[in-house]
Structure 1
């Protein structure tokens, strides 16, 4: 990706209530404007999972106003990297896009103690992705974590 272009990432899971919401929120927080971030679901639910909202709040990230969004071909077209998280073949494939599949436990129906390790693993993967696609330049402060 050219340095003059802001990379864009789309996180996709089935209901857009857990893993994809956490990944999008963490990348948005950590990237501080260096990456365009979207999330969507192939069959979105009504609300974000409460334990996911709580787990992110513990990390200082408020997603209480987020709502699950439907996956569209336009969202895929507008993204450089599409990261699926258990949505199977529901995600449209377009040439020139980079596709990754992050296999992670589904936090649906889990309590906060089960969601924390998923959040932490997503954060680890998001940090590695961010270092690859939009590393902090000289004089850019990190988030200190």
Structure 2
């Protein structure tokens, strides 16, 4: 019987087309079913940035089937970690969540060669996040 995820993470950026999609792809790839992964945008785009898709494909992660989604209060409330990447004040705040803001360059309008360093910065932050979640262990059920 598979165990329940130890945490849920929501990645938020304006268009949900680049940074948040790459972060969600890395977290799903690196943490597997140990972590529930969501992503959303305050003003979602029409599609995932093709340069982000290509940059992720280069490291063996396919995000080509992802679709930008609108940020909802319910998605924030259902997440243990809310990681923003330039969504400003559009992200609702609920008590008991861990909020992190990752200052990352926006890949919109950039070619794959400019997206690679953003991708690599996201990967390092995701690796640190996975280590933090694993160290914290499963949520307490005695609350």
1:40–1:69 contact (8 Å) kept in structure 2: yes
Give runs of aligned pairs for residues 1-145 of structure 1, distance below 5 A: 6-134=6-134
Structure with higher helix content: 2
Partner Cα distance (1:71, 1:108) in 2 = 19
Secondary structure (helix, strand or coil) at the match of 1:56 reads helix
Displacement after TM superposition at 1:6 (Å): 1.7
1:35–1:134 contact (8 Å) kept in structure 2: no
How big is the alpha-carbon RMSD for the aligned residues of Structure 1 and Structure 2?
1.3
Count of residues paired in the alignment: 133
2:12–2:20 contact (8 Å) kept in structure 1: yes
Partner Cα distance (1:122, 1:33) in 2 = 19
Compute the TM-score of the two structures, normalised by the length of structure 2: 0.90
Q: Give CA-to-partner distance per residue, 1:49-81, whole Å, 9 cap, x none.
A: 000000000010111111100000000010000
Displacement after TM superposition at 1:5 (Å): 5.8
Describe the shift of the 1:5–1:31 C-alpha distance in structure 2 as closer, same or farther (beyond 3 A). Answer: closer
Partner Cα distance (2:134, 2:55) in 1 = 25
Partner Cα distance (1:95, 1:32) in 2 = 27
Unaligned segments of structure 2, at least 5 residues: 138-143
Partner Cα distance (2:76, 2:134) in 1 = 19
2:15–2:68 contact (8 Å) kept in structure 1: yes
